[in-house]
Amino acid sequence: MKQGLQGELAHHLAAYRPGWSLPRPFYRDAAIYRADIEQIWRRGWLFAGHSCELRNPGDWLTLQVDTDSIIVIRGEDGAVRALHNVCRHRGSQLVAPGRGSSKRIVCPYHQWTYDTGGALTFCRGMHEIDKSQFSLKKVHCETVEGLIFISLADPAPPFGPARELMAPFLRPQGFARAKVAKQVDYEIAANWKLVWENNRECFHCNVNHPQYIKANWDHYNADDTSADVKAAISRAVAHSEAKWASAGLAVSHRDTGMTQFPDAERGIWYSANRTALVEGWVSESMDGKQVSTLMGDYRDPDVGTVRARTLPNFWNHSSCDHGVSTLLLPAGPYKTLARVTWLVDEKALEGRDYQLDKLMPFWQLTSEQDWAICERQQRGVESSAYEPGPYSKYKEYNVDAFVRWYVKTLAAGASA
């Protein structure tokens, strides 16, 4: 069957034309969906949540990746780890999907008991077994400045380069000292790649994101940046440089349009940058005004936004006062789950320091606008009349980059 899939994949990959959207089977075939899972989702690093969601020893949350439920848990030693949520006795799921806190993981079926590191500590009635052979299966887990990543791969690819690049941008945001203000789960009726393709361009922003374009410059591209816009950006960059260079908070993305990501040729699946907001805006909120107390190391609201993203399942936009993380999970050729999390400083109090109806709308509206677009595109690419279309060099360079990254990663995994 593997051979069959490889032959089929090779056939479909041969139909792919760089600079154009993917052939139809990539958005709908069950076999290609399985290949995506095996070659990309089970081989890369996946964002799993924020370390502030697991504040105390024993705190855990679960993540469902394909058929596998993963427990992400803070151990009694304070370290965050990831374990398969499967009892080594008869395979029962140990904890119910969601979140909780416990110093021991006890199987509800026959009470096999594991410590927070996954070691089997108790199993009544099983007199002959060597407990050391029945630890919970481990999943690779890394934390960078309050963001938790896991990998189901064995061995996992190196995480160091991602950490080195992202940490300087994430550190001042202080996610490790944040708290979750709100979390909303979505089910998007679209293939996960369409969600990324949508994320990788702001060509669609003018008409679809009336809030977003008030705060940002991304929708201006090399072919339509006016002298006025260019001057405004230059002023913002210079202002930031003057004010923040020494503090390491100066904007790193200095142009209109989106920063280039990913880098298919060099296999770069992570990136982060600091970006200026439109003059007069200090937060990605409906009116650009601050909507909570300052986060992390910030002492001044005028810091633009930090943006980070990792393939295949994470992006974050953070202003001086709040951050918004999006976590994706594939759930079939036509279905993607998205969890959007709003974070504020851990000391901020709802009602006093922030109101959800001020904090949430900017990204709630923008996210939901995007999911609607993706669902509509999914219905179109399912048609026998769909054929790949050309990407705009000026506006869709990152969509093209994503697709090239996808094709390369898939092909490499399949031949590995």
In DSSP terms, 308 is beta-bridged to 272, 316
Residues 11-40 that bind a second copy (CB under 8 A): 21
Q: Which residue has the tokens 């293939």?
A: 191
Cβ(112)–Cβ(131) below 8 Å: no
Among 14, 227, 385, 416, interactor with a second copy by CB under 8 A: 385
Q: Which of 268, 309, 312 is nearest to 43 (CA)?
A: 312
Nearest distance from C-beta of residue 123 to a second copy, angstroms: 9
What's the Cα-to-Cα distance from 146 to each of 173, 239, 274, 299, 386, rounded to whole Å?
Answer: 10, 29, 18, 20, 42
Tokens of 130: 């060597």
Residues 155-174 that bind a second copy (CB under 8 A): none
Tokens of 332: 């079939």
With binding defined as CB under 8 A, does residue 221 bind a second copy? yes
Residues 117-136 that bind a second copy (CB under 8 A): 125-129, 134
With binding defined as CB under 8 A, does residue 397 bind a second copy? no
Tokens of 50: 């924020």
Cβ(312)–Cβ(44) below 8 Å: yes
User: Strand 323-330 and strand 147-151: pairing?
Assistant: unpaired
Question: Where does this chain touch a second copy (CB under 8 A) — which range of 162-170, 231-239, 294-302, 386-394?
Answer: 386-394
Residues 45-84 that bind a second copy (CB under 8 A): 66-69, 84
User: Helices then strands (H, E): number in the chain?
Assistant: 11, 16
With binding defined as CB under 8 A, does residue 332 bind a second copy? no
Question: Where does this chain touch a second copy (CB under 8 A) — which range of 209-217, 225-233, 284-292, 381-389?
Answer: 381-389
Q: What is the DSSP string of 270-292?
A: EEEEEEPPPTT--SSSSSSS--S
What's the Cα-to-Cα distance from 41 to each of 156, 330, 335, 356, rounded to whole Å?
Answer: 12, 9, 15, 33
The 134-153 site mask, x for binding a second copy (CB under 8 A), equals x--x--------------x-
Residue number with CB closer to a second copy (78 or 91) = 91
Nearest distance from C-beta of residue 281 to a second copy, angstroms: 25
The answer to whether the Cα torsion of 280, 282, 285, 290 is positive or negative is: negative
With binding defined as CB under 8 A, does residue 382 bind a second copy? yes
With binding defined as CB under 8 A, does residue 93 bind a second copy? yes
Nearest distance from C-beta of residue 41 to a second copy, angstroms: 12
**Residue count, binding to a second copy (CB under 8 A):** 56
Question: Where does this chain touch a second copy (CB under 8 A) — which range of 175-183, 218-226, 247-255, 262-270?
Answer: 218-226
Contact positions vs a second copy (CB under 8 A): 21, 66-69, 84-94, 96, 108-111, 125-129, 134, 137, 152, 197, 203-204, 207-208, 221, 223-224, 373, 376-377, 379-390, 392-395
